[in-house]
Amino acid sequence: MQGDTATPFANTHFILPYGLQLRQTINAGTTSVTIPAGITFVYAIAVGGGGAGTNITGGGGAGGVAWGWTIATSSCVVGAGGTTGSGGYTRYGSIIAGGGGGANGAGILGSGGGGYYGSGAAGATNYWGIPGGAGGGSFVTGANGAGGGGGGGSNTTSGTAGSGGNGISGGGGGTVYFGTGASTAGNGGNGLVGGGGGSASTASGSAGGSGGNGINILTGAVFSGGTRVGFSGGGGAGIAGAGAAATSFSAGGAGGLGGGGGGDGTSSHGAGGAGILYLFY
Amino acid sequence: MSASIYSNSQFTDSPYGLKLQQTIIASSSSVVIPTGINRVYAVVIGGGGAGSTQTTGGGGGGGAGGYSAGWTYISNSVTIGAGGTGTSTAAAGANGSPSIYGMVFAGGGSGGINGTNGGAGGGATTPTGTTSTVSYTGAPAAGQNVVGYASGGGTSSTAGVSSGGGGGQSGVTGNQTGGAGGRGLIAGGGGAVGTAGLGTGGNGGTGDFYAGGTGSSGTGTSFGGGGGGAGFSGAGSDGSGKNGGNGGDGGGGGGGASTLGTAGSGGRGEVRLYY
């Protein structure tokens, strides 16, 4: 930590942020932050809340990720995970990341698009202008991007749905909502934050999709997406926690802490993982 | 030990530890940077948009000015964007003007729409209407009522770094409440109402550093002006009667006005230099 009286011409600490320490981890619902006097700029990593799955509709997209230097403030917004749709945005100063799209919902500000039983929804361009991926058509995997596109499925024929696109934030897996013939749902896309898996019809031999993997940015370790159970999908991993497995044959798993997308289910779905905010100074 | 960014290969473009050296609130061609300082970190904020007014009912609030930050070469000239000026003419509110220092620039906020929708927040350039513009970092523009770096304007309080103005109400009877400006680092103005019933103008959006102004409330069309949005350097003003409140210094959006009242003006922009 240092004060606000230095300039680059008399200071050797400008190799940062490598040398910065994680000072605060802020969870959803928190609205105020205390920054020590003299700290004028803070390096922030903001992650939006994950999108929810929706019953027999599609997996939720992962929350967006934004990072960079911002003016220090005492205020923050950390988004909740979606329970029936999109997750909430997260903002600290000028750093802002969008919540993941719910099933069939487009991403915003770097988040993944939701999967669907038709064409998946588009992922979003992020804070730094990195483009999002397009949603996949029926039975097509979503395109990769800052926010991966959602996978496409079908409600008119059986088959194998598309997975969510990979990216910084993965798209949700597609769902197959058709009762005749075995079908396989799409997996959530992988990224720093994973998308939720889709669900499949209850015909014999059908299977849900697994949640996408995420990465613990503090250690580099992989957080696993939740596994499918029966017809329902697992939750995507967040940047701070693994995704939950589907809780039954018919109930999708929740997304992991730090924006994981919720898994789809045939009778109930998983909520998106809550957003998170890291402050370094 | 002394170090120089010009001889230190490990230097990265971190603003960490930099000190605020100058806050500039008026355009000038005589900015003085000390000898030996060849680049500075600039925070640049555009002027806020003005609210709109309508012949009947309430107009929308203005969007917040854009916020951009980054390293730039030094310059002796700076452009500070004025806030849009609110008027009592039934029309869209005036956009805020852009601010520029070196290669860092930010647009003004959109004025409130000629109707009830609030204006969009400014990005790197100035929007006109409810859709914002791309930010200096490259974050995408946002449509009506959509959260963004620069958020869209519209009917509801739409959050962002630079938020959109709140929407007014067209109804002229019954109880009406205007939409609040969005929450943001810099905030948009509140929308207005003009009704024979109880009318309450929308509050200006809450900023990170300052509060938005409160909307005017009372029975009849002499009330219902929206509050001004919070700026980076000052609070928004309260709505007064059917007039909108002004946006706070540092890009706050002006509040909408009701029934040919005078809409709130946007807050002026500014530039802050760190080195």
Instruction: List beta partners, residue B58.
Output: B258
What pLDDT score does B4 carry? Answer: 53
In a domain, B76, yes or no: yes
Q: Do A14 and B8 touch (CB under 8 A)?
A: yes
B136 touches chain A (CB under 8 A): no
Mutate to test the interface with B, among A94, A127, A281 (most CBs of B within 10 A): A94
DSSP per residue over A186-230, as a string? PPPPPSSBPPPP--B-SSTT-B--PPPPEE-TTT-PEEPPPPPBT
3-state secondary structure of A157: coil
Find out whether B112 and B104 touch, Cβ atoms under 8 Å: no
In a domain, B11, yes or no: no
A86 touches chain B (CB under 8 A): no
* Nearest C-alpha in A relative to B17: A4
- CA distance linking residue B188 with residue B203, whole number of Å: 10
- What residues of chain B lie within 8 A of the CB of A16, using their CB? 12, 14, 16
Answer whether residue B24 shows pLDDT above 90. Answer: yes
pLDDT tens profile A78-104: 999 999 999 999 999 999 999 999 999
Smallest Cα distance from B23 to chain A, Å: 14
- CA distance linking residue A187 with residue B259, whole number of Å: 55
In a domain, B166, yes or no: yes
Q: How confident is residue A4, by pLDDT bands cut at 50, 70 and 90?
A: low
- What residues of chain A lie within 8 A of the CB of B210, using their CB? none
Q: Do B69 and A127 touch (CB under 8 A)?
A: no
Average pLDDT, chain B: 95
Based on its alpha-carbon atoms, the radius of gyration of chain A, rounded to whole angstroms, reads 19
Q: Do B140 and A125 touch (CB under 8 A)?
A: yes
- CA distance linking residue A144 with residue A272, whole number of Å: 20
In a domain, B255, yes or no: yes
In a domain, B121, yes or no: yes
pLDDT tens profile B104-149: 999 999 999 999 999 999 999 999 999 999 999 999 999 999 999 9
What pLDDT score does A179 carry? Answer: 85
- What residues of chain A lie within 8 A of the CB of B22, using their CB? none
In a domain, B87, yes or no: yes
Q: How confident is residue B226, by pLDDT bands cut at 50, 70 and 90?
A: very high
Q: Measure CB to CB from residue B139 to each of A14, A73, A109 and give the nearest one.
A: A109
A31 touches chain B (CB under 8 A): no
Answer whether residue B53 shows pLDDT above 50. Answer: yes
What pLDDT score does A10 carry? Answer: 40
User: CA B226: distance to chain centroid?
Assistant: 14
- What residues of chain A lie within 8 A of the CB of B161, using their CB? 91, 93-94, 96
Cβ count within 10 A of residue B2 = 8
- CA distance linking residue A28 with residue A10, whole number of Å: 39
Q: Dihedral angle at the C-alpha atoms of B166, B171, B176, B181, nearest 10 degrees?
A: 0
Domain that holds residue B185: 19-275
Cβ count within 10 A of residue A134 = 22
Q: Do B185 and A94 touch (CB under 8 A)?
A: yes
Q: What does pTM read for this prediction? A: 0.94
3-state secondary structure of A9: helix
DSSP per residue over A39-98, as a string? --EEEEEEEPPPPPPBTTTBPPPPPPEEEEEEE--SB-B-PPPPSSSPPPPEEETTEEEP
Q: Do B17 and A94 touch (CB under 8 A)?
A: no
Answer whether residue A115 shows pLDDT above 80. Answer: yes
Helix (H) or strand (E) holding A169: strand A167-169
What pLDDT score does B18 carry? Answer: 85
A281 touches chain B (CB under 8 A): yes
What pLDDT score does A97 carry? Answer: 98
What pLDDT score does B156 carry? Answer: 80
What value of ipTM does the predicted structure carry? 0.94
pLDDT tens profile B174-220: 999 999 999 999 999 999 999 999 999 999 999 999 999 999 999 99
> Which of A123-132, A199-208, B184-193 is predicted least confidently?
A199-208
Q: In this structure, what token pair is assigned to residue B121?
A: 């927040």
> Which of A48-52, A73-77, B6-10 is predicted least confidently?
B6-10
Smallest Cα distance from A152 to chain B, Å: 24
Q: Which residues contact A12 (CB under 8 A, 6 or more apart)?
A: B1, B3, B8
Q: Do B137 and A4 touch (CB under 8 A)?
A: no
Backbone phi, then psi, for A8, in 5-degree steps?
-60, -15
B147 touches chain A (CB under 8 A): yes
Find out whether A153 and A116 touch, Cβ atoms under 8 Å: yes
Residue B140 preceded by cis peptide, ω within 30: no
What pLDDT score does A153 carry? Answer: 98
Task: Tally the domains of chain B.
Answer: 1
- CA distance linking residue B187 with residue B235, whole number of Å: 10
Q: Do A17 and B139 touch (CB under 8 A)?
A: no
The percentage of chain B sitting over the pLDDT mark of 70, rounded to a whole number, equals: 95
Find out whether B19 and B157 touch, Cβ atoms under 8 Å: no
- Over residues B35-42, the mean pLDDT reads 94
In a domain, B188, yes or no: yes
A22 touches chain B (CB under 8 A): no
pLDDT tens profile A20-41: 789 999 999 999 999 999 899 9
Q: How confident is residue A19, by pLDDT bands cut at 50, 70 and 90?
A: low
Environment class of B28 (CB within 10 Å of its CB; exposed 0-12, middle 13-18, buried 19+):
middle
In a domain, B210, yes or no: yes
Q: Do A14 and B14 touch (CB under 8 A)?
A: yes
Q: Cα angle vertex A112, ends A120, A174, to 5°?
A: 30
What pLDDT score does A17 carry? Answer: 61
- CA distance linking residue B67 with residue B73, whole number of Å: 18
> Order of strands, edge to edge, in the sheet holding B39-45?
B20-24, B270-274, B39-45, B67-73
What pLDDT score does A14 carry? Answer: 43
- CA distance linking residue B4 with residue A262, whole number of Å: 49
Q: How confident is residue B12, by pLDDT bands cut at 50, 70 and 90?
A: low
Find out whether A257 and A244 touch, Cβ atoms under 8 Å: no
Find out whether B198 and B175 touch, Cβ atoms under 8 Å: yes
